[in-house]
Amino acid sequence: MQNIVTTLVTALCGALIAVAAVVVLTNAGYMPLNETQLRGYLLTHPQLVGEMNDEAQRADDAKSAAANAAAIKKVGLDAFFNPRLAYVTGPVNAPNTMVEFYDYDCPYCRASLPAVKKVFDQHKNDTRFAFIEYPLESIHGPGAVLAAKASLAARAQPDRFLAFHYLMMGETEQMTEEMVMADAQKAGLDLKRLKADMANPEVARIVADSHDFGKKLGLVGTPTFVINGVMYPGSLDDAAMAAAFKKA
């Protein structure tokens, strides 16, 4: 079955390249060409294939961006700052907004941590931030959900939340209960209270509701950022984060 799919995809890609080549050559005044001439032209101008692939990628990116924008518009930007789903901080009427959907076991979320910390320090007085748990248990295992529940429970001790969040996101191994509690202790959390709050059934319901919210947005993975109403799937470094703020 896989071979059939691969053959069909290859054939389709070949057909699309051929169609694109016809358009390019027609516009350049080189048409009509027969199949042999077309093949010969492509073989002697291989850069056209790369250019056509780049154009196809740009078209696909534009389509995805439009779908993301439509999804955000449908749910409304205020939905991202629901304090039940998100840890929200920053001025209420801030000119900028930034949302992150994350998983503590996600390597790309961890890679984005330096940029997130930097942008938070730079913009905490002019940006409304929302941190939303989005553990992907099917990919990263139960440790991701455990860490998410601990993070949600830590919101009851809000002055310690960010320190705890940064510590867990800064881990390099798969999350375990021992790691979660060690980070909680380092962050100065009341461990007895944290464990009791983690056991609250509402915490599990919030995790489920966060996933439902993500599905409405069409999220395909973590991290996913929404900066000033624009969605940015995937890891962001300092330059990409700065560009996102500047773009808005």
All residues at 6 or more sequence positions from 127 whose CB lies less than 8 Å from its CB, including other chains: 90, 91, 94, 95, 96, 97, 98, 119, 120
So what's the pLDDT on residue 64?
Answer: 65
Residue type, 127: T
DSSP structure string for 179-233: HHHHHHHHTT--HHHHHHHHTSHHHHHHHHHHHHHHHHHT--SS-EEEETTEEEE
Instruction: Give φ, ψ of 135 to 5 degrees.
Output: -70, 135
Task: Give the integer Cα–Cα distance in Å for 244 and 225.
Answer: 10
Supply the pTM of this predicted model.
0.76
Q: Is 14 or 35 the better-scoring residue by pLDDT?
A: 35
Q: Which CATH class is domain 77-247?
A: alpha beta
pLDDT in tens, 183-242: 999 999 999 999 999 999 999 999 999 999 999 999 989 999 999 999 999 999 999 999
Mapping DSSP to helix (H, G, I), strand (E, B) and coil, where does residue 110 land? helix
Please, what is the Cα angle at 182 between 178 and 188, to 5 degrees?
A: 150
Query: Which range, 50-54, 56-60, 96-100, has the best average confidence (pLDDT)?
Result: 96-100
Whats the size of the chain, residue-wise? 248
Instruction: Report domain extents, the chain.
Output: 2-75, 77-247
* Nearest residue to 154 (alpha-carbon basis) of 196, 121, 109, 100: 196
So what's the pLDDT on residue 8?
Answer: 35
